[in-house]
């Protein structure tokens, strides 16, 4: 049985290793994740600007993956707080693609409907929907939809900033599709096919 460090005890990790979840996440992560190479050094958590707000550091989350703690991992707020700054990836001595793994865990949590707060998953799904429709993000639509759904009372306070961005040409009033949207649609459809077969 693995040595019971304080961190493992806090995470409720009393089981033997079960690498099936770790392998599943590794296979679902784009490119080569190097997830199995994690040596639990903690550099990722020490490099993360939002680690203090995470319920589990990336190091602890990866140890939980090794223990096969599927539900606990997918309910964690850690992937949702990741700001994709890639600072952890740059500093990781084992070149684990931590931020990419976080994207995978978000997708798995959405598929399994195992997330505590729906705010981030809804934001993510709205953004992806806009990319699938227009080929790019549409900030005004994204912000409006997000605030109406989750923070309707904050929306009036956001209006002065939004109007300022629109007046300075920093935000479009109407969405614009990219050129050759049909090509992006084919790429996205193929990616979905590959995801279903993996």
pLDDT (average), residues 119-130: 88
Contact indicator for 37, 95 with CB cutoff of 8 Å: yes
Chain mean pLDDT for the chain: 88
Question: CATH number of the domain at 6-112, please?
Answer: 1.10.1060.10
- Report pLDDT for 11: 52
- CA–CA separation, 39 vs 92, rounded Å? 10
- CA–CA separation, 157 vs 153, rounded Å? 8
- CA–CA separation, 107 vs 198, rounded Å? 14
Helix 98-112 to helix 58-66 angle, to the nearest 10 degrees?
60
16-20, 106-110, 115-119: which range is least confident on average?
16-20
pLDDT (average), residues 19-46: 92
pLDDT (average), residues 11-27: 75
Question: Is 80 exceeded by the pLDDT of residue 71?
Answer: yes
- Report pLDDT for 70: 94
Question: Is 70 exceeded by the pLDDT of residue 4?
Answer: no
Residues of the chain with pLDDT > 70, as a percent, come to 91
CA 86 to chain centre: 12
**Residue spans per domain, the chain:** 6-112, 119-197
* Planar angle of CA 56, 61, 67, nearest 5 degrees: 130
CA 70 to chain centre: 16
What element of type H or E holds 128?
Answer: helix 119-134
Place of tokens 């949207």: 181
Kindly report the backbone phi and psi dihedral angles of residue 21, in degrees, each rounded to the nearest multiple of 5, phi listed first.
-70, -45
Considering only residues 66 and 15, tell me which one the structure prediction assigns the higher pLDDT: 66
Question: Is 80 exceeded by the pLDDT of residue 12?
Answer: no
- Report pLDDT for 39: 94
Kindly report the backbone phi and psi dihedral angles of residue 147, in degrees, each rounded to the nearest multiple of 5, phi listed first.
-70, -35
- CA–CA separation, 89 vs 181, rounded Å? 32
């Amino acid at each position: 049985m693995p040595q019971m460090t304080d961190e493992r005890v806090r995470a409720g990790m009393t089981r033997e290793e079960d690498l099936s979840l770790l392998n599943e996440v590794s296979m679902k992560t784009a490119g080569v994740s190097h997830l199995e190479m994690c040596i639990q050094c903690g550099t990722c958590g020490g490099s993360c600007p939002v680690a203090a707000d995470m319920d589990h550091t990336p190091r602890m989350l990866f140890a939980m993956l090794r223990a096969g703690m599927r539900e606990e991992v997918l309910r964690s707020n850690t992937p949702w707080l990741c700001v994709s700054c890639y600072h952890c990836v740059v500093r990781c001595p084992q070149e684990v693609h931590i931020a990419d793994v976080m994207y995978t865990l978000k997708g798995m949590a959405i598929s399994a409907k195992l997330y505590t707060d729906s705010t981030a998953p809804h934001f993510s799904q709205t953004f992806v929907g806009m990319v699938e429709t227009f080929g790019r993000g549409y900030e005004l639509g994204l912000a409006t939809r997000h605030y109406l759904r989750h923070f309707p009372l904050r929306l009036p306070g956001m209006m002065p900033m939004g109007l300022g961005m629109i007046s300075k040409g920093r935000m479009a009033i109407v969405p614009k599709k990219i050129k050759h949207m049909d090509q992006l649609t084919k790429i996205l459809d193929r990616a979905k096919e590959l995801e279903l077969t993996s």
